[in-house]
């Protein structure tokens, strides 16, 4: 059975002067990118990555086409950085309706994809950060990780090097599922329970995205805050 995806998106600077997050709700492709704050022009990198992703995916809507589109996003950011003699980078998380593999997700960095199903919220991506890899290896506990000085250091990002490793996987979606793509400004400010409550109570995807971002801003998020909410119908 073919799923229909309906989405809404919201973004806010949060506690920062500049919003380096970008979101897209396109034709069968939904994405979020969070420009790397320690590098140059994060807001340019994130927007450039999503523009390149959507343009390239439109020419090949297969699962492999989504991977190719992520790599084109990587090249687009690299080329701009090279022209301006700077280093730029961005996270990227995307969900796309493909012609050969159903709904497919792609992910680089520490922006996340969650799924709400039957009232339960599950993280579907694994952060590409130094500390997340240490936690997965059992070298550091979750409690220590929250205060670790390297907790925000990425091990992968779009636009940093020519060879980009992209995590991709098929999503076994069913009607009633809700997907959430979000930047770390959201999931580091709101608890899992707070995110779950909004997604479970607000059926309209645009209103849900707006409410999630507003809730994080009200709680004084110290980073940019973005959300893309996708209903599976």
pLDDT at residue 188 in the model? 94
Lowest mean pLDDT: which of 3-7, 16-20, 121-125, 126-130? 126-130
Dist CA 104 CA 44 (whole Å): 26
pLDDT digits (tens, 9 = 90+) for 149-183: 556 679 999 999 999 999 999 999 999 999 999 99
Residue 85's pLDDT is: 87
CA distance 195 to 208: 10
Cα 196 to Cα 4, 63, 233: the distances in Å are: 22, 29, 19
Average pLDDT of the chain, as a whole number: 92
What structural domains and CATH numbers belong to the chain? 5-124+156-214 (3.60.40.10)
Looking at per-residue pLDDT, the higher value among 3 and 193 belongs to 193
pLDDT of residue 153: 77
Query: 116 pLDDT exceeds 90?
Result: yes
40 confidence band (pLDDT: 50, 70, 90): low
Does residue 144 surpass a pLDDT of 80? no
């Amino acid at each position: 059975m073919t799923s229909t995806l309906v989405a809404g998106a919201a973004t806010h600077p949060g506690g920062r002067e500049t919003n380096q997050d970008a979101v897209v709700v396109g034709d069968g492709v939904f994405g979020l990118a969070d420009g790397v704050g320690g590098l140059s022009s994060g807001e340019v990198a994130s927007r450039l990555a999503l523009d390149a992703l959507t343009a390239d995916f439109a020419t090949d809507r297969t699962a492999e086409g989504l991977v190719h589109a992520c790599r084109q996003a990587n090249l687009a950011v690299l080329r701009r950085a090279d022209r301006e003699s700077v280093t730029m980078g961005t996270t990227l998380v995307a969900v796309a309706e493909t012609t050969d593999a159903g709904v497919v997700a792609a992910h680089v960095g520490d922006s996340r994809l969650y799924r709400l199903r039957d009232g339960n919220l599950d993280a579907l991506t694994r952060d590409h950060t130094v500390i997340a890899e240490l936690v997965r290896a059992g070298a550091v506990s979750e409690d220590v990780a929250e205060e670790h000085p390297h907790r925000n250091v990425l091990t992968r990002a779009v636009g940093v090097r020519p060879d980009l490793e992209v995590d991709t996987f098929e999503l076994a979606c069913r009607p009633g599922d809700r997907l959430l793509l979000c930047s770390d400004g959201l999931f580091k400010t709101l608890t899992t329970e707070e995110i779950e409550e909004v997604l479970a109570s607000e059926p309209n995807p645009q209103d849900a995205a707006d409410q999630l971002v507003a809730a994080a801003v009200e709680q004084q998020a110290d980073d940019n805050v973005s959300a893309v909410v996708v209903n599976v119908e």
